[in-house]
Chains A and B, each alone.
Chain A
Amino acid sequence: MAKDLTLILILALPLIGFVINGTIGKKLPKVLVGGLATSVVFVAFLLALTLFNGLNGVQIVRLFEILNYDQITINASFQIDALSVWMTLIITGIGSLIHLFSMGYMSHDPGYHKFFTYLNLFIFSMLLLVLGSNYFVLFFGWEGVGMCSYLLIGFHYNDLQKGKANSLAARKAFIMNRIGDAGLLLGLFMLLGQFGTLEFQKIGTALIANPALQGGAMLLITLCLFIAATGKSAQIPLFTWLPDAMAGPTPVSALIHAATMVTAGIYLTVRSNFLFELAPFTKEIILYIGLATTLVAAFMALRQNDIKKVLAYSTVSQLGLMFVALGFGAYTVALFHVTTHAFFKALLFLGSGSVIHGMHEEQDIRKMGGLAKLMPITHFTFLIGTMAIAGIPFLSGFYSKDEILAQALHHNPAVYAILVVAVTMTAIYMFRLYFLTFHGAFRGGDALRAKVHESGLSMTLPIIVLAFLSVFGGLLNLPGLFFHGAAHWFDHYLSAGTFGLSEVHNAHLDFNTSIGLMIFASIIALGVLFWALRNYAKKGALAKADDQMSAWETLSAKKLYIDEIYDLLFVQPLLKMSAFISNVFDIQILRNGVYALANGVVNTAAQTRKWQNGLLSSYLFWMVLGIILFVSYYILKISVWH
């Protein structure tokens, strides 16, 4: 099949699923609805595999012209290259697993067909985002995923207890994303102004041909793009929406708020690498924002008691890690972590979903414990996920994290030291989560214990596949000291087939340092494992109650009071300003001023006293009469002229 046709099909399939389920899904049996939604994404995945196989440089597929604006033509055109195909594989691959999982997870939900309609729409938007060959199509998808995210976070808006919180979380996510979007918008305006096009390749080529375009403009453009990235990828200062977004059903957290949408900011930066390379100052900012985010979020995760909140802060922290890599210009390293993170974070979220499903919607780990025996498959896979993210040797997370640490050590040892702290915290909160959930005694009461069950096949199968990927994902990009020939496959793949990317920015440390780094990282991860085993796995070990926590624990549990600070600094002033402008300025001054003026005019004319008989019809009469007289006079007058 021709490549352009394949690409169109990949895009069209989720759209077809969206349209069918959105229109007649309510009347179809659930199996058909879920089956259709899952299979369109899965077939798209298979098609993406054929693209991957036949990958040969960069290919542009132009569909139609959207708008011709002042000599600027905006096309709906798409790009097949190593980067876009890789992202497509992640989106459709993990996407179809999560669709399958949802068929079990959402089986009792009355909004079943709606859920799959939104999921398919999300996949479509996300594919637009990564497949577009210009920033406009990217922006299309960018806004589209934001909308889907809103719909899915607030999916259970009718829930009796949590409905209000769910819809508020959705609103918060949408608004914070919109702040980032405004940044993207301005960035695109500047790009249009500078280059007269939004096509990635044309901008890149123009930059190579005309290095004079560097400088201040590039700084502003890249800063705007990075603001957009902080919104979608939940970085400081726009990160607070992501933990709240856990209000959405768990498959949504896995797909959108861990594996795909939140990596859009990373994708945008990698895609725009030729711009960022010309703006070293922006890269510096990215580095420090990423560093701060990874540290702060890891700290917040230490004392969360909601199983999904721990994972959410962990996601923010891991995304920060990826931005650190981007700050060093190690684009392929960041994308490698995107990939492995997608595997193990989707696994962890689906695992937590399986736990929540089995626990009948309980999310508080203080009420769990000892689930290892009750849910053996979930337990085993969750353990793998935990080990992968904690950096236990030879699992996928070990390799991708090690690459980032190596970059840091090479460029800036201080950054490396801070990263080690963050990585250690990651291992701590993850093992705390794991042991409190699966070991010790069950703390949820006998009634609940009797009902806890392992999930069905449609839920465990995707988890098993993801566990497999989490174990072996590291093989994609083995470090050079293991297998020289097969090493760095992923780096080669991406940089050979993506515009602007090359491996020169990746630091390659010497043999001894590399080995030393790995051993050091392994010792940390394993050390934390044994420490947590001693501390949390004991029978009866329990997360502390709120009033027993020390100062730092309270700070972590209360997320450093960031939400409260934002409320005080931004939300309340805006509301106060709105009330003030509306009540005082608009009504008191402007509107009443007009009344006063009108009354003044009416009253000064003594004659009008008797006209003021309070009947509007008489005002109307005089007014219309006046107009008619005026108009007839002029019609007559001009008719006489001619």
Chain B
Amino acid sequence: MALIILLPLAFSLLAWFLPSSITRIVGLISSFATLTWSVMQLLSFDPENTLYFDLGLRMVRFSMDSLGFTMVLLTNAVIFLIFLANFQRSIVHDKRFTALTLLMQFGLVGIFTSNSILGFYIFWELTLLPVFLILFWFGAFEKQKALLQFFLYTLLGSLAMLLSVIGLMHLTNQQSYEALLAADLNQLGNTGIWLMGGFLLAFAIKIPLFPFHTWQAETYTKAPTAGTMLLSALMLKMALFGLIKWVLPIFAGTALDFWRWPIIVLGLIGIIYGAVIAIKQQDLKTLFAYASLSHLGLIAAGIMLGDNATTKTAMLQIVNHSIVALGLFLAAGIVEQRLKTRDLSALGGIAKIAPRFAFWFAVLTFISLSVPFTAGFIGEFFLLKSLFSAHALTGVLASTTLILGAVYMLRAYQDTMFGPTQISTFADLHWSEISVFAILTIAAIYLGLSPQCLTEFVGHSLVQLKP
């Protein structure tokens, strides 16, 4: 099991030393190898028992439970798909990209398997390094302001979380997951609320929740397509995972009761705010960024309810969001690569020239609209149901996502693909891009038909929150 962490690190180092001429094959093969290895591990994995392991380090121990395993599988699959999706782009010919992405994978797997809060924090910070460098080296930040904003925001979050981690370790004198779960934080009173607040600030920035989202659209648009995929499909899931596995169970009680509804309200605002803004956006990536704000608001609000039935469907929606984010940002990237623009007013009529792209983009659009037979249909239904049961008005307001989502997604698709066109050439999909779209679609449909395989699997490691 230790290999599951070490493989990405080893591959990352390897990629750094191998020449750039073969690096895109290296990235593809190594990410595929890691994915295969993790799937093989899954076959012998017992979801009811947590598996403990370490890398010989005394301080940072690891454990694999079904929740972490789900996230690790998601990570490994997404990393592989990112290499595959960008297979015919220049970025994968740069070994810095390959090495950094694999390093990112290492960090993510570390987050999802850490058994100590300190390990969680260390890996959390570790993932920042590759992301920053990818944005810095490969992004199109003509103004440093945008990147600086992302820096400062993330730094702020990290500092807040660091303080909370230190505080938590000092006050409880514990740092392993099980010991922290057993600790009674209710006696800390307001201190507990502050500690949880530190984590929440870091997570709110990363997810992002309204009003901490302003870095998102700018960073997404300036990042290379591969970077946007990393950010949206994986990086923001770190925060949701942190909520589910660490923060909610540890702080259940006074602190959670204090923060629950403020965060749900922020999520709710995000659902509507993001969707309303997305309606008028001209830039495809900006539009998808705000759509993401809307979708993530719903997931975060659902998780904050803190009951396991909802959390299970939230996990379904987390995976679904990764599928949608990968697919939509790939589509935006394809448009940008072929036409050097993402401006809806300059686009149109691509469907006539590139029918295969038209088909797959349409499929992904419908997946993001949560139509039947896709994972989102089930996930959205039950998340909204939970919100509605908890507080009817919240559920009603959140349900507007059903309508607004259709407004902005259909506009994005139709303005890109239909109508009169000035575009004369548009290279239709490369086999690598078709494969990615097809894999995403199969995954969404599979989870839409048998969501149980995921929700039951995850359910094994969800702890009942203390009242």
Contacts and interface: CB of A to CB of B under 8 A. Distances in A.
Interface of A: 65-70, 125, 136, 139-141, 143-144, 147, 150, 154, 157-158, 163-164, 167-168, 171, 174-175, 178-179, 181-182, 185-186, 188-190, 192-193, 574-575, 577-579, 581-582, 586, 590-591, 594-595, 598, 601, 614, 616-617, 619-620, 623-624, 627, 630-631, 634-635, 638-639, 642
Contacts of A150: 410
Contacts, number: 169
Given A598-B152, A616-B147, A185 B280 contact: no
A617 B136 contact: yes
Interface in B100-143: 118, 121-122, 125, 128-129, 132-133, 136, 141
A575 B351 contact: no
B292 interface: no
A582 B452 contact: no
A627 B59 contact: no
Contacts of A598: 148-149, 152
Nearest to B310: A70
B4 interface: no
A412 B131 CA distance: 71
B426 to A, nearest CB: 14
A185 B384 contact: yes
A581 B277 contact: yes
Nearest to A220: B392
A638 B118 contact: yes
Contacts of A579: 280
Interface stretch (B74-82, B193-201, B411-419): B411-419
A622 B62 CA distance: 29
Interface in B373-392: 373, 377-378, 381-382, 384-385, 388-389
B366 to A, nearest CB: 6
Interface stretch (B64-72, B254-262, B401-409): B401-409
A181 B402 contact: yes
Contacts of B312: 69
A492 to B, nearest CB: 35
B162 A143 contact: no
A150 to B, nearest CB: 8
B162 A630 contact: yes
Contacts of B279: 574-575, 578
26 contacts: A66-B450, A68-B456, A70-B310, A136-B381, A139-B381, A147-B366, A157-B418, A164-B419, A167-B419, A174-B410, A175-B406, A182-B399, A182-B400, A185-B399, A185-B402, A186-B388, A186-B396, A188-B385, A574-B407, A575-B279, A616-B141, A619-B151, A623-B132, A627-B128, A631-B122, A642-B58
B273 interface: yes
Contact of A639 (B58, B151, B313): B58
A175 B162 CA distance: 45
B166 A189 contact: no
B428 interface: no
B144 interface: yes
Interface in B29-61: 58-59
Given A143-B377, A619-B148, A69 B399 contact: no
A613 B118 CA distance: 34
Given A125-B372, A185-B384, A627 B276 contact: no
Nearest to B379: A67
Interface in B447-466: 450-452, 455-456
A167 B58 contact: no
A186 B399 contact: yes
B211 interface: yes
Contacts of A627: 125, 128, 158
A182 B125 CA distance: 41
Given A192-B385, A578-B280, A590-B211, A623 B155 contact: yes
B442 interface: no
B340 interface: no
Contacts of B419: 163-164, 167
B372 A140 contact: yes
A66 B389 CA distance: 21
Given A171-B410, A179-B403, A144 B372 contact: yes
A635 B414 CA distance: 54
A147 B377 CA distance: 13
B452 A65 contact: yes
B352 A586 contact: no
Nearest to B408: A578
A69 B309 contact: yes
B41 to A, nearest CB: 26
B382 A67 contact: yes
B307 interface: yes
Contacts of A147: 366, 371-372
A415 B452 CA distance: 51
B281 interface: yes
Nearest to A192: B385
Interface of B: 58-59, 118, 121-122, 125, 128-129, 132-133, 136, 141, 144-145, 147-149, 151-153, 155, 158, 162, 166, 169, 175, 211, 214-215, 218, 273, 276-281, 307, 309-310, 312-313, 351-352, 366, 371-373, 377-378, 381-382, 384-385, 388-389, 395-396, 399-400, 402-403, 406-407, 410-411, 414, 418-420, 450-452, 455-456
A182 B147 CA distance: 39
Nearest to B152: A598
Contacts of A139: 372, 381
Contacts of A631: 121-122, 125
Contact of B148 (A65, A67, A616): A616
B158 A581 contact: no
A69 B459 CA distance: 11
Given A66-B451, A579-B280, 6 more contacts: A66-B450, A186-B388, A190-B388, A594-B149, A619-B148, A631-B125
A167 B418 contact: yes
Nearest to A592: B214
B28 to A, nearest CB: 27
Nearest to A160: B420
A171 B276 contact: no
Contacts of B133: 620
Contacts of B403: 175, 178-179, 182
Contact of B351 (A157, A174, A193): A157
B456 to A, nearest CB: 8
A638 B310 CA distance: 37
Contacts of A575: 279-280
A601 to B, nearest CB: 8
Contacts of A188: 385
A310 B389 CA distance: 44
A598 B147 CA distance: 12
Given A144-B371, A623-B151, A627-B125, A638 B169 contact: yes
Given A590-B211, A616-B147, A174 B406 contact: yes
Nearest to A114: B359
B83 to A, nearest CB: 25
A163 B417 CA distance: 12
Given A67-B382, A164-B418, A616 B136 contact: yes
B313 A620 contact: no
B151 A638 contact: no
B6 to A, nearest CB: 19
Contact of A186 (B214, B352, B395): B395
Nearest to A601: B152
Given A182-B402, A620-B132, A620-B136, A638 B277 contact: no
Nearest to B57: A635
Contacts of B121: 631
